[in-house]
Structures are given as C-alpha cells and as structure tokens.
Chain A
Amino acid sequence: MTPPVEAYAAALAGLPGMGPKRLLALLQRWPADEAWSRVSAGGAGVDGDLGRVWREAAAATDVCAVWRAHVDAGVGVHVLGAARYPTLLAADHEPPALLFSRGDPGVLDRRRVAIVGTRRCTRYGRDMAEELGRDLAGAGVCVVSGLALGVDGAAHVGALAAAGAPPVAVVGSGLDVVYPRRHARLWEAVAGSGLLASEAPLGARPEPWRFPVRNRVIAALAEVVVVVESHPTGGSRYTVEAAEARDRTVMAVPGSVRSPASAYPNALLADGCAPARDATDVLVALGLSTATSGAPVPDLRPPPGPTEARVLEALGWEPATLEQVVARTGSTPGEASVALSRLERDGHVSATGGWWERIAAVGPGRGWGRAKG
C-alpha cells in the first residue's frame, strides 16, 4: 500500500525536535512525501545535529504504520493547502501546517466563540464559564476552548449540557494523550459530539511550550474571545494577544476588583474591551438577534426564608467563613450554621474547605459530573 500524503505529513510532525514553525517551513517548500524523502536522505536543508537526528528517526519510522495508527484511532489529518483543511486556518498568518482532528470538522461552519481562562478559577469563574458555554451553545453558537481544568472545562461542560451547538476543543497534547487525565470523560464527550483538534502529533506529551502555541489556534478559530477569569500572568494573555493580532473581538467577564483571578479580565475592561456579562452580550457582539437566546434560566430552587435571605446577603458573592457570616449578621454561630445548612440543601450555597460560597441559579442540565463543591 502506498500511504497518502497525509501519512508523510503526520510522520514528519512526529520527528524529534519538530515544532510547528519547522514543520510549516518544510511543508511550504515541498509536498509532504517529497519533504519526507529529503529528510530521510538528509537533504532537507537542515544542518548539523538536527538533520542527523531527523535522518536517523526517519530511517526508524514506518510511514505505513504511522498512518494505520491514525486510522485506528479515528484521527483525521489535515494538511495546509489540502481541500479538507479548515478554511478559517488556511487564511491565518501563522497557520498550523498540520491539524489532527477527531469528530466533525463541519462544526466550524457555525458561529464560534472562544471561552478561555485560568485553571485556578474561583467558583464564580467556573459558574460563569459554564453558564456562558451553555447559553451560547443553546443559541447555536459553537463554543471553542482548550479542555483545561477550571474555566475551559467548565465552558465545555456547559456547552455539552445545552445540547445545542456542539463544542470544539483545541488541545495541547497528541489526541491519544488525554490531558488533564481528570477530563477523560469530557475529552471523549467533546470528540463524540463536536470536534477535538490538535496541532501535536499522536503521542505528543503535554509539554508546557505547546499551550501558548495552541492558544493562537483557539484565537484563530473564534470570532469572539471571552476571558472569564485569569491572573495577570496567566496563559489567557497569549490567546488575547493572538486574537488582537487577528482582529478578533475580545470580551471580558467583569469580576470583583479584589479577586486576583479577575485581575486580567478587569484590566482588559479598563483598556476598553467590551464586557461579557452574559451570553446576550456575546450574541450582540456576534450580531446575532438576541431572540435566539431563549428565555432566562428559571430559578428552580426554593426561595430562602427571611433568616436565610439575610445570611445569603451577608455572604455576598465572595467566599466567607462561618465566623465572618456570624460577624456580619450578628446572629449566633448556631443560627448562622442552621441557615447555611438549609441554603446548602436548597442549592443556594456550597461549602468547600470550611468556606461558604454563594451559587448562581444554573438551570437544568448540569448533570455533567458535577458533584458537591
């Protein structure tokens, strides 16, 4: 069997020391099969050790076996310039030379919004990401994110719960290397209903350098990038820079000025970014009629009683300890703890590590593996 040109491209991507830039340079000069034979012969225009390492690695690689591995794993290989390569990326100024995919690349034909943010998000950030993901997907907008812990994962969970537009995840590792492990189920769910894409070849470890590079693909795929929560030095700034370089709209979810996790989105707002208070704000930015977003989520929780309402108000939207609630309400620890326990039972607050946090109304369909906390 003669392997297709995609097989050679995938084999090239798997060579040691091969990053997106080198791969792009090779594939812009030669078709993949020719580039492969040049690398195997040591004549790929790369000098010194790297040329030798590539030649030796290429000699040890069976291109047919590489191709079979992709077919067996259900992984599609899209070469820049080929017919099935996403047109969105083909027009980009830093396109991935090669994109690996699982699922349906056709979902990219929909309107697309990226929801990004920190792995170390607060309850607020997770709730907002899930809410935006759910409401945007429900309005037929494809949610693009990175499947990371925290904000990314919550956005995907929300999008899947809506059973609207399927989500897109662009990951940093190879499509057979599930990272983070905790998102294994989510990973499969995204691949099953939407699109899972990566620039990294099969078997590629989630090396730190891959994530900022991956973020530019997220920015390139989205029409609007929404930053939910991020610390000033977080990876979201790479996505925002990439989005700005591509004239994509950047929106930020406003947060408490005291919360470090909201420092970056708040700084973006101060710089003049549009706020994303809810999905409607984002739909307006997309120029979509807000009528498609449907009715607001009904709050199905039993309303709090008078004492509970007072405690809920004292709690506010930032985590507090029982002692703080007692000090703010002037009630006894017993009264406050009874009120908090009733609020917890009815889904108004949650307790983690001795901290109480208020929960926003999230409608039905939160069945995506979210237990207490």
Chain B
Amino acid sequence: MGEFPAPVLDALRQPLEEGVVRVARARANVTFPARFLLVGATNPCPCGQGPRDACRCSPSARTRYARRLSGPLLDRFDLRVIVARPDVDGLLRGPPAEPTASVAERVAEARTLACRRGVRCNAELPAHRLDEVAPLDPAATALLEHQLRAGWLSARGLHRVRRVARTLADLAGGGRYLGEEHVCLALGLRAQPLGSEEAA
C-alpha cells in the first residue's frame, strides 16, 4: 500500500466507511454497492528491513514513508498486524501450530453468533447496537477510558476495537461481557506503523 500515492489511498476512505461508491456527474448521481474486505500490505520503511537496528533508513525517510498512510485511513482498518521476522528456532523446532481445520470450526461458530445478532460478521454491527451486544466489564471500560483520554484511540477506533474484541470473545467462546483481555488483544491488533511516533 505504501507504493500508492496518498490521494488514491484516501479515496478508499468513503467506500470503506459506508460500503458504497458514489459517483456524481452532471446528469445523475449513481450509488454502487461496495462492501468489500480490504486486505493491504506495506513495508515498514523504504528499505523493507523493518524495526530497529537492521533498518538503514534515516528517521526522516521513515517518517515520510509512514505518512503515506494517512491517520484517517489507518483508523478504518479493524486489524493492523505487524508481521515480525520469524524466529529461526520457531521455524525449525517450534511446536506445530493449530491445524487450520480446527481454527475454521471456531470461525464458523463465531460467524453463527454474529448471524444471531442479525449481521454477517461483527464488523457490520452498527455503533448504536454495541452497548447491547458488546457490553464492557468495568476493567475493560477503565482501560478504554485511559486509551481515549491519552489520545491513543479515536471515537471511530473505539467502535472498531469493540467489534474486534467482540469477535475475539466469540472465538474464545466467551460470555456476553467483553473483558480486559479481549480489549487488550483487540488494541494489540491496532499497531501503529513504525515512524508514526516520530511524525507525531
């Protein structure tokens, strides 16, 4: 994604938010359905080496690179995952990972739960229904309040974190309330790209 010009990327913001593409011309306004799943990838910095010491980029080059993905666009991603270089030991000797078949079962169960809420997946939950279907326990509320007050989380981000936390709780077979654990993990899936701390 870092290879696209910023205006092109920012044009995605409206369809991502509303699920439709609006085209306005002199004779007509047309609205096309555009509810899609956007999966994007980007390098952490121009040299692609990523975090810390292996990176040969200057701080300003990193900042410029990070700035191509605007804050409002990043804010609309539910999941922002840093893909770190895998451990050599983990690759060769680590315990076998969970088979995808069993993950698929849990995902199917979580999808069923979402369907009972009247949506295809939790990402489609409207904001006004979050208090009803994704209530927060006191610890989770305190954590989110801290994040909001510190300015690390926006209002839009808050809704998205709650939807992701709902999904995490569903996957874990959890109850009605979202706990601190679910919210923490959801927040952890909203990583800030490298370089953005220098731009701030």
Interface residues of A, Cβ cutoff 8 Å to B: 119-120, 122, 149-150, 180, 182, 259-261, 319, 321-324, 327, 333-335, 337-338, 340-341, 345, 351-355, 371-373
Contacts and interface: CB of A to CB of B under 8 A. Distances in A.
A114 B117 CA distance: 64
A180 to B, nearest CB: 7
A337 B181 contact: yes
Nearest to B56: A120
A295 B54 CA distance: 38
B188 A353 contact: no
B200 A259 contact: no
Q: Bin chain B's interface residue count.
A: 35 or more
Given A321-B84, A355-B52, 6 more contacts: A334-B172, A334-B182, A337-B184, A352-B194, A353-B194, A372-B150
Contacts of A354: 51, 81-82, 84, 191
A353 B44 contact: yes
Interface centre among B152, B188, B198, B200 (most CB of A within 10 A): B188
Contacts of A150: 59
Given A338-B180, A345-B146, A353-B194, A119 B58 contact: yes
A120 B51 CA distance: 11
Nearest to A263: B53
Nearest to A258: B53
B53 A333 contact: no
Nearest to B45: A353
Contacts of A259: 53
Contacts of A338: 180-181, 184
Nearest to B81: A354
Contacts of A371: 200
A171 B183 CA distance: 46
Given A319-B52, A352-B192, A334 B59 contact: no
Interface string B120-155: 000000000000000000000001001000101000
B187 A341 contact: yes
B197 A120 contact: no
A324 B86 CA distance: 10
16 contacts: A122-B53, A180-B60, A319-B51, A334-B182, A334-B185, A338-B180, A338-B181, A341-B180, A345-B143, A352-B194, A353-B44, A353-B196, A354-B84, A355-B82, A372-B150, A372-B152
B181 A353 contact: no
A334 B51 contact: no
A353 B51 contact: yes
Contacts of B82: 321, 353-355
A341 B59 contact: no
B193 interface: yes
Contact of A372 (B182, B184, B191, B197): B197
Contacts of A353: 44, 51, 82, 191-197
Interface in B56-81: 58-60, 81
Given A353-B51, A354-B191, A372-B197, A335 B181 contact: yes
Interface of B: 44, 51-55, 58-60, 81-82, 84, 87, 90, 143, 146, 150, 152, 172, 180-182, 184-185, 187-188, 191-198, 200
B53 A260 contact: yes
B44 A120 contact: no
B197 A373 contact: yes
A120 B193 CA distance: 17
Nearest to B185: A337
| B82, B184, B191, B200 pick with most chain A CB within 10 angstroms | B184
A335 B59 CA distance: 34
Interface centre among B54, B172, B180, B181 (most CB of A within 10 A): B181
A355 B52 CA distance: 10
A341 B172 CA distance: 20
A371 B198 CA distance: 10
A369 B197 CA distance: 12
A341 B184 contact: yes
A149 B197 CA distance: 13
B103 to A, nearest CB: 14
Contacts of A319: 51-52
Contacts of B81: 354
A324 B52 CA distance: 16
Nearest to B191: A354
A322 B53 contact: no
A182 B197 CA distance: 12
B64 to A, nearest CB: 12
